[in-house]
Amino acid sequence: MLFEKMPSLPDDLAAMNEKEIAELCAALRQRLIETVAENGGHLASNLGVVELTVALYSIYNPHEDRIIWDVGHQSYVHKILTGRDAGMDHLRRPDGTAGFPKRSESDADAFNTGHSSTSVSAAIGYARGYALKGDKRHVIAVIGDGALTGGLAYEALNDIAQSRSKVIVVLNDNGMSIDKNVGGLSRYLGKIRKKHSYLRAKRRLRRFLSRIPGIGKPLTRLLTRMKNRAKHWVVEGKFFENLGLYYLGPVNGHDVYALKMIFERANEIDGPVLVHVQTEKGHGYEPARANPEIFHGVPGFDPETGEIPCGGRCSLSKVFSSTLCDIAEKDEKIIAVTAAMSIGTGLQEFSERFPGRLLDVGIAEPHAITMGAGLVLSGEKPVTVIYSTFLQRAYDQILHDVALQKLPMVIGVDRAGVCGYDGETHHGIYDFAYIGGIPFTTIAAPSSAGQLDKLLRMAVKVYDEDSEIPADRRLFVIRYPAKERFTFADDPKYIGSEPKYGKGAVCFDNCGGKADVVIFSIGEVLEEAFKAAKILDSKGIRTLVFDAVFFKPLDEDAIAELAGTAKVIATCEDAVKDGGFSEKVRILLAERGINVKTACFSLPNSLIPNDSVINQLRACGISGENIAGVCEKML
């Protein structure tokens, strides 16, 4: 525990002297390091906003004023200061504090975040609503320079000009999102950062003046106000001013005193303000400062050395990247596309081996898809790789700009299925449902690393004239989890096979094809289906497991034939039931007039709280033991 008694905000922080503030910031950093080392989480971004959060909560009351932390990666300090320090002991666990802001957790969490670039829009909504009823509360959006590359942020900034809402936009500029920032905005902010000669002079002068007895601090405040009015002649902030915001900054984001002064100045301005704050990701902890990409989101680690243990499971992101590199070695038209996630999607190797052929568009998933459509029409072969939870943002582009033009394209949907400790904002459980209804698509879900390799090699053939893939199904989507759960490749009961387009395969058969129970599985949950089959086998129950591999086109004839001879069937998937694999199988059987007892093991279309992946699946009934038990009872 960091606090015996939680501070009353903003009064207790505002009353602290410089030494007490420094001690508090050091204690917060130590608490962050210990907590994330134990539980995993987002470390570098939180270390970077310690002073910024302390300064904000020395001026504003987060329980009354509305402070929205964009994405929410950097909200741990906010949570500690707003009464949830005890919950940090079990950060991101079911009985602890969530990893992102949640309105259900505290009245200090003004808006649920987890996806990028939403804060300014939400803040304008709050400000307009308060203005209509004469409520004078402050509204602040804290947005990173990475999140500011998202199109939604620009839609909101464009709206500010006409709204004239009193919103303070705090631009947390650390030159990073998850990967290094890219694009014109990054270069523009870089120009502003370089014009810092006046900042050095200001710091020296402030230190000198503050030491003058009696008049030092009042004089410093007066000169700071004068400097803020004159600074626009020195620093380029016109981009934001042209959008209708009054620009203040840049200011050192690790100087609490300077931050408090600039927020006080922002409060004096009538209308929207952008406060440009420069911070350093990982500040105060050398391993995270030196490797902010690695320490963006980490599992548990050694807090003394910063050493991160290697995971025991095979990374399917790396398998995808390695296979893509092999393909690109033979075909120079292959181009990889990602949206600020080259490290997370494993594409670093591709970038190193093929400089110039990895296109990182920043946090702009819709742009990644439509730009990919342009690449296809120019004769290139893009392979776009985006997390399932973020690809949701590009639904219209997949449908309108790719599918309806019947363009070939390969999309790798990383982090499919439940995501574990990041919770409901990051689950990749809706992709079957939202992509499945798009025409002219192929959707595959490998159950192993070997299948992923072969399916990607199959997928890139959509760009070939003589491809076996039908011309009206050449938008080829492959969804896969972060890590392989397939652990039984050498099991003597496992029947391996080569993937064939649009076909599934029997992978467990203890009855020569005449089963009492048939389990139809797709994707990573094949591991649980296989466990269930072995349990049923041990009880003498004739069982067969069918690995569907393809969600679209579904291997309808094989599924109907196997289901038609069974007494009980079960369907297993790591996606929501509505619009998912289980629903498609049930519709197929109804259309074919096949009446058989059916158990469905899918994810509920409701919130699945943060926990380990295995616990999340078990809580939803997707475990070998439960599948076997239900099937046995139905018999």
For tokens 């990967």, name the residue: 179
Predicted pLDDT at 233: 41
Catalytic residue among 102, 393, 415, 473: 393
Angle 410-415-420 (CA atoms, 0-180°, nearest 5)?
170
Active site residue 280: no
Active site residue 393: yes
Rg (CA), the chain: 27
- Read off the amino acid at residue 149: T
For residues 438 and 578, state if they share a domain.
Answer: no
For residues 378 and 463, state if they share a domain.
Answer: yes
Averages of pLDDT over each 10 residues, the chain, 635 residues = 81 95 96 95 95 98 97 96 95 94 96 96 96 95 92 92 89 71 53 50 60 69 56 60 90 96 95 95 93 87 88 86 98 96 92 94 95 98 97 97 98 96 94 97 96 97 93 97 86 93 96 92 96 96 97 98 96 96 97 96 93 95 98 96
Q: Is residue 499 part of a domain?
A: no
Predicted pLDDT at 232: 45
For residues 134 and 28, state if they share a domain.
Answer: yes
Report which secondary-structure segment, H or E, holds 520.
strand 517-521
Q: Is residue 434 part of a domain?
A: yes
For residues 427 and 551, state if they share a domain.
Answer: no
Instruction: Find the CATH number of the domain harbouring 593.
Output: 3.40.50.920
Q: Give 583-590's long-range contacts (Cβ < 8 A, gap of 24+).
A: 584/436, 584/551, 584/554, 585/520, 585/554, 585/559, 588/554, 588/556, 588/559, 588/560, 589/559, 589/560, 589/563
Q: Which positions ≥6 away from 207 have C-beta within 8 Å?
A: none
Residue 399 CA, chain-centre distance (Å), reads 22
442: left (phi over 0), alpha (psi -120 to 50) or beta: beta
Instruction: Find the CATH number of the domain harbouring 424.
Output: 3.40.50.970
d(CA 288, CA 488): 37
For residues 515 and 625, state if they share a domain.
Answer: yes
* Residue 252, SS3 per DSSP: strand
Q: Is residue 303 part of a domain?
A: no
The answer to whether 254 and 54 are in contact (CB under 8 A) is no
Q: Is residue 222 part of a domain?
A: no
Q: Is residue 171 part of a domain?
A: yes
Catalytic residue among 365, 484, 524, 573: 365
For residues 188 and 246, state if they share a domain.
Answer: yes
Q: Is residue 214 part of a domain?
A: no
Active site residue 365: yes
For residues 23 and 80, state if they share a domain.
Answer: yes
For residues 373 and 519, state if they share a domain.
Answer: no
Range of the domain at 51: 11-195+235-290
Q: Is residue 572 part of a domain?
A: yes
Closest CA to 503 of 462, 561, 460: 561
For residues 283 and 324, state if they share a domain.
Answer: no
Number of domains present in the structure of the chain: 3
Q: Is residue 4 part of a domain?
A: no
CA dihedral sign of residues 233, 239, 241, 242: positive
Catalytic residue among 84, 281, 479, 584: 281
